[in-house]
Chain A
């Protein structure tokens, strides 16, 4: 039933797809091994493609920008953490300009940059 609903696009019509925690517990319990999380994520992608859920884009566009422009999505916000990292030799550098350029070329090859621009409507900064 779930697969039928997904194929018919009925899942994507429901707000419930945003309530899924993507924890895979239901899959572990499903007697028919239905990849439920995949169905939900596919529905989310379809909704975002037609720009049907602006709240996601509002909340998460900074994630995508951060990924494309620096490499990480969580940043140091405390001087104590900064000090600990320095003292422990844990300062893994962000992407260099050369690597960013290589990453963008790579993403283009994988059609990912187009996907991000299409979904998020963002340009490289």
Chain B
């Protein structure tokens, strides 16, 4: 953690899904950044990273990068660092800020980090401050493809564990359970009119997680989190699964471990069904 004389300042880019569906991810991220002695600002106005349109073929990479520059220069005040909480936003911003040739013309200086990278690089210091004992918690890790297989440069690989999230989980003494489909896609990027054809992808993954006996799924992407929530709710309604395995974003996980309120800060009531929330809270306050 850095001294106050050189306080790092970042803009936290919310992303559409975390801002408007799971704001507990943002609240947790803000609290974590403050604990790391980092000044955090939000953009003046919200504009989508546009990555979902790019993967559908509606726009091209150059357009996504152009929107990233508009975001950084017009809505964020051209900061030194942009922190994202979503793997899709990460791909859009990091690629634009590192790779795209337009950067020179736009006089953009920012670099892009994922909040998971900040938690990872400070995991030992954060774990020392942990107030909640989570050594009985069993987590199934899903990093998410657009980070794990980021195609334009290097990412944080695991040091103690298999990947960035396993390192964080191990620092907090959590039990990581392995499962067969660990490195496969959540299926959230399925083209919607093909849902009937391809719903087997998230189902297979979720069945594999359920078999592992995990109490929660730990991810670093709100889009994956949303997919796990939606698909499990649908499968439960169809009586194809018995229980929903709640999903936590890494910011929420770290915030809860540090003793921050699972509802008022992490906003778990906005993403975990009431039936599962009680049992989860017991596990998270042990």
Binding site for B on A (CB under 8 A): 18-19, 21-25, 27-28, 35, 37, 41, 43-45, 47-48, 55-56, 58-60, 63-64, 67, 71-78, 80-81, 84-85, 88, 90, 92-96, 99, 102-103, 106-107, 110, 112, 115-116, 119-120
Chain B residues whose CB sits within 8 angstroms of the CB of A77 once the complex forms:
20
* Cβ-closest chain A residue relative to B73: A106
Chain B residues whose CB sits within 8 angstroms of the CB of A102 once the complex forms:
74
Interface string of B245-265 (1 = CB under 8 A from A): 000000000000000000000
Query: Closest 9 interchain pairs by CB?
Result: A44-B57, A23-B145, A24-B149, A74-B16, A23-B185, A110-B66, A71-B47, A45-B57, A22-B55
Bound-state Cα–Cα, A27 to B27, Å: 35
Q: Which B residues, 41 to 95, have Cβ-Cβ distances below 8 Å to chain A?
A: 42-48, 50, 52-60, 62-63, 66-67, 70, 74-75
Pairwise interchain contact B53-A71, C-beta atoms closer than 8 A: no
B171 at the interface (CB under 8 A from A): no
Bound-state Cα–Cα, A76 to B80, Å: 30
Chain A residues whose CB sits within 8 angstroms of the CB of B50 once the complex forms:
67
Pairwise interchain contact A74-B20, C-beta atoms closer than 8 A: yes
A-side interface mostly:
helix
B85 to A: closest C-beta gap in Å = 12
* Cβ-closest chain B residue relative to A112: B63
In the assembled complex, 13 residue pairs joining A and B whose CB atoms fall closer than 8 Å, in A order, are: A18-B191, A24-B150, A25-B183, A25-B185, A27-B151, A41-B60, A45-B58, A64-B58, A71-B48, A74-B21, A84-B23, A99-B75, A106-B70
* Cβ-closest chain B residue relative to A49: B57
Chain A residues whose CB sits within 8 angstroms of the CB of B20 once the complex forms:
72, 74-77, 81
Q: How many A-B residue pairs have CB under 8 A?
A: 158
A78 to B: closest C-beta gap in Å = 7
Give the segment of B2-10, B121-129, B194-202, B236-244 that binds chain A. B194-202
Pairwise interchain contact A56-B23, C-beta atoms closer than 8 A: no
Chain A residues whose CB sits within 8 angstroms of the CB of B59 once the complex forms:
112, 115-116, 119
The residue from A21, A47, A73, A80 contacting B189, defined by CB atoms under 8 A apart = A21
Bound-state Cα–Cα, A110 to B145, Å: 29
Bound-state Cα–Cα, A65 to B58, Å: 12
Chain B residues whose CB sits within 8 angstroms of the CB of A72 once the complex forms:
16, 19-20, 46-48
Bound-state Cα–Cα, A45 to B219, Å: 30
**Do A90 and B46 form a contact, CB below 8 Å, given A21-B187, A28-B149, A110-B62?**
no
Bound-state Cα–Cα, A90 to B14, Å: 9
**Do A93 and B58 form a contact, CB below 8 Å, given A74-B20, A88-B23, A106-B70?**
no
Pairwise interchain contact A59-B189, C-beta atoms closer than 8 A: no
Pairwise interchain contact B53-A64, C-beta atoms closer than 8 A: yes
Pairwise interchain contact A24-B14, C-beta atoms closer than 8 A: no
Pairwise interchain contact B52-A92, C-beta atoms closer than 8 A: no
**Do A73 and B23 form a contact, CB below 8 Å, given A23-B145, A27-B149, A99-B74?**
no
